[in-house]
Amino acid sequence: MGAGKSRPQSNVLIVDDVPDFLKETSAVLRPHFGVTVCSSPLRGLRLIKQGGIDLLITTLVMRELDGLEVIRRVRGSGSALPIIMVTGFGNENTAIEATRVGATDYLTKPVEPEELIARVRRALTYADVQEEVDEPLVLSQDKTMLEVIEVCRRVARSPSRVLILGETGTGKELFARMLHARSQRVREPFVDVNCAAIPPNLLESELFGHERGAFTGATERRVGRFEEAGEGTLFLDEIGELGIAMQSKLLRVLQTGDFSRVGGSRNLRSQARVIAATNRDLSQEVQAGRFRADLYYRLNVVTLEVPPLRQRFGDIPILVRHFSRKFVQPGHEPIGFSHEAMQRLCAYGWPGNVRELEHLIERLSVLVTRGEVRLSDLPAHFQGITEAAPVAPASTNRPYHEALQEFQRVYFQNLIAAAHGNLAAAARQAGMDRSQFFRKVRSLRLITNG
pLDDT over threshold 70, residue 335: yes
Q: Is 18 exposed, middle or buried (0-12, 13-18, 19+ CB in 10 A)?
A: middle
Peptide bond into 199 cis (omega under 30): no
Is 162 within the bounds of a domain?
A: yes
What per-residue confidence (pLDDT) applies to 399?
65
Domain-embedded: residue 344? yes
Query: Final residue of a domain: which of 374, 390, 406?
Result: 390
Q: Which of 372, 390, 408 is the last residue of a domain?
A: 390
Q: Are residues 287 and 436 in the same domain?
A: no
Residue 2 within any structural domain of the chain: no
User: How crowded is residue 45: how many other Cβ atoms within 10 Å of its Cβ?
Assistant: 20
Tens of pLDDT along 268-309? Answer: 999 999 999 999 999 999 999 999 999 999 999 999 999 999
Residue 15 lies in a domain: yes
Does residue 176 register a pLDDT over 60? yes
Question: Do residues 17 and 63 share a domain?
Answer: yes
Compare 174 and 2 and report the one with higher pLDDT: 174
What is the average pLDDT across 81-104? 76
User: For the chain, what percent of residues have pLDDT higher than 70?
Assistant: 86
Residue range 339-361: mean pLDDT, rounded: 90
Q: Is the pLDDT of residue 133 over 70?
A: no
Residue 188: pLDDT over 70: yes
| One-letter amino acid of 118 | A
Q: What is the chain's mean pLDDT, rounded?
A: 84
Reported as half-sphere exposure (CB side, CA atoms, 13 A), residue 430 has a value of 25
Question: CATH number, domain at 406?
Answer: 1.10.10.60
Sign of CA dihedral 188, 184, 52, 194: positive
CATH number at residue 38: 3.40.50.2300
Angle at 418 between CA 416 and CA 422, to 5 degrees: 50
- Residue 138's pLDDT band (cuts 50, 70, 90): low
What's the structural domain count of the chain?
4
The residue from 339, 357, 390 where one domain ends is 390
Task: Let me know whether 325 and 290 are in one domain.
Answer: no
Q: Judge whether 220 lies within some domain.
A: yes
Return d(Cα 178, Cα 439) in angstroms, integer: 30
131-135, 252-256, 373-377: lowest mean pLDDT where?
131-135
For residue 285, being part of any structural domain is answered with yes
Integer Cα distance of 225 and 58 in angstroms: 27
Highest-confidence segment of 15-19, 261-265, 317-321, 380-384: 15-19
Per-residue pLDDT, 403:
64
Least confident of 332-341, 400-409, 427-436: 400-409
Whether 385 and 395 map to the same domain: the answer is: no
* 300 part of a folded domain: yes
Burial of 233 (0-12, 13-18, 19+ CB in 10 A): buried
CB 3 within 8 A of CB 190: yes
In this structure, the strands spanning 209-210 and 222-223 are antiparallel
What pLDDT score was predicted for residue 297?
Answer: 96
- 301 and 339 both lie in a single domain: no
Assess contact for 388 and 414: CB atoms under 8 A.
Answer: yes
Residue 2 — very low, low, confident or very high, per pLDDT cuts 50/70/90? very low
Do 187 and 269 belong together in one domain? yes
The reply to whether 274 and 148 lie within a common domain is: yes
Would you mind telling me the total number of residues written for the chain in this entry? 450
Q: What CATH number is attached to the domain comprising 276?
A: 3.40.50.300
Q: What is the mean pLDDT of residues 88-103?
A: 70
Say what the pLDDT of residue 277 is: 98
Instruction: Give the Cα separation of 365 and 419 in Å (integer).
Output: 21
Examine the domain organization and report whether 363 and 272 are in the same domain: no
> Residues 378-428: pLDDT tens digits?
998 887 654 444 444 444 455 666 666 777 777 787 777 666 667 777 787
Domain span at residue 102 reads 7-131
When pLDDT is cut at 50, 70 and 90, the band that residue 20 belongs to is: very high
Residue 163 β-bridge partners = 276, 303
Pair (72, 169) in one structural domain: no
Residues 300 and 340 placed together within one structural domain of the fold = no
Whether 184 maps to a domain, the answer reads yes
377 and 409 assigned to the same domain: no
224 plus 368 within the same structural domain? no
